[in-house]
Amino acid sequence: MREVFQAELKQVGEELVEIAKLVDKALSEARQAFLDADLETAQEVIAGDARIDFMQNELDERSIDILALQAPVASDLRMIVGALRMSSSLERMGDLARHLAQDARRRYPEPVLPPQLVDTFTQMFDLDLEIIEGVIQVLETRDMGVADSIYAKKAKVNELHQSVFTALTNEDWDSPVSTAVDVTLSARYLERIGDHGVSVTRKVAYLVTGEWTPSASVEHPTGHGHVGSDA
């Protein structure tokens, strides 16, 4: 019975990695769709989100069955509960990638961004991709040496996110209100993707160490909120 239980736990972990890899693919394609006004790729991201949702539901149902049938204790219980919460964060990252693709589709054939913000958003996309790739590594190896790098990248995303608002309030901003709304929401999507990446990382750290220690290095530069939240 114990061998079956351990096999089920291993499968849950493997499914988390698979979902994270799908999120990585979705974000990479959303980047292309968003920055290059690529309608075909945007459609693929939007359609592909259903696969992430399906896998999350499957993982959650499997985890609940394990809780009901195996009555895990201590570290095993933390693993199952943590998996339920991590799958939710990963699914939300997929949703946010879909939102970015939907922005690209809605604006097509025009770009979402004014020229002066292309570099800022490119950096945010690239950092978020590095974050999700770090999350995959953490999920696969439980090597928490990657965690500090993830937190540092999220701090840079926060800075870039804040710079978007600075650009919106500059005197030389001359784009229409609709563009300002799109820019504001898209920047928030990218900032939240990083939030969820950090949230998953911290949950894995808890599984490894048994301690829940928020990292001050990933607080928002404005001092409001913390990226470790599960909202």
Give the residue-averaged pLDDT of 56-78. 81
Nearest to 118 by CA among 31, 220, 181, 26: 31
User: Could you read off the pLDDT of 164-199 as tens digits, one per residue?
Assistant: 999 999 999 999 999 999 999 999 999 999 999 999
DSSP for 121-184, written as a single string: HHHHHHHHHHHHHHHHHHHHH--GGGHHHHHHHHHHHHHHHHHHHHHHHSTT--S-HHHHHHHH
**pLDDT reading at 223 higher than 70:** no
Give the residue-averaged pLDDT of 18-46. 98
C-alpha to C-alpha distance for 224 and 231, rounded to whole angstroms: 14
pLDDT of residue 139: 96
From 76-80, 86-90, 173-177, the region with the lowest mean pLDDT: 76-80
**pLDDT reading at 213 higher than 90:** no
User: Could you read off the pLDDT of 96-106 as tens digits, one per residue?
Assistant: 999 999 999 99
Output the pTM of the full model: 0.89
Give the residue-averaged pLDDT of 213-226. 45
Please, which residues bridge with residue 226 across strands?
Answer: 219
From 28-32, 145-149, 198-202, 210-214, the region with the lowest mean pLDDT: 210-214
Domain ranges of the chain: 2-218
From 49-53, 56-60, 216-220, the region with the lowest mean pLDDT: 216-220
Confidence of residue 3 (pLDDT cuts 50, 70, 90): confident
Confidence of residue 124 (pLDDT cuts 50, 70, 90): very high
Helix axes 147-169, 177-209, angle to 10 degrees: 160
197 within 8 A of 131, measured Cβ to Cβ? yes
Most confident among 59-68, 75-84, 111-120, 206-215 (mean pLDDT): 111-120
Q: Where does residue 74 fall: left (phi above 0), alpha (psi -120 to 50 degrees), or beta otherwise?
A: left
pLDDT of residue 74: 67
Percent of the chain with pLDDT over 90: 72
pLDDT of residue 41: 98
Confidence of residue 72 (pLDDT cuts 50, 70, 90): low
Produce one character per residue of 15-51: b if its CB has 16 or more CB atoms within 10 Å, e if not: bbbbbbbbbbbbbbbbbbbbbebbeebbbbbbebbee
Nearest to 101 by CA among 142, 57, 45: 45
Q: Which fold has domain 2-218?
A: Methane Monooxygenase Hydroxylase; Chain G, domain 1 (1.20.58)
User: Could you read off the pLDDT of 126-159 as tens digits, one per residue?
Assistant: 999 999 999 999 999 998 899 999 999 999 999 9
Please, which residues bridge with residue 219 across strands?
Answer: 226
Q: What CA–CA distances, in Å, run from 146 to 134, 198, 208? A: 6, 11, 13
Produce one character per residue of 148-178: b if its CB has 16 or more CB atoms within 10 Å, e if not: eebbebbbbbbebbebbeebeeeeeeebeee
Nearest to 124 by CA among 170, 163, 177: 163
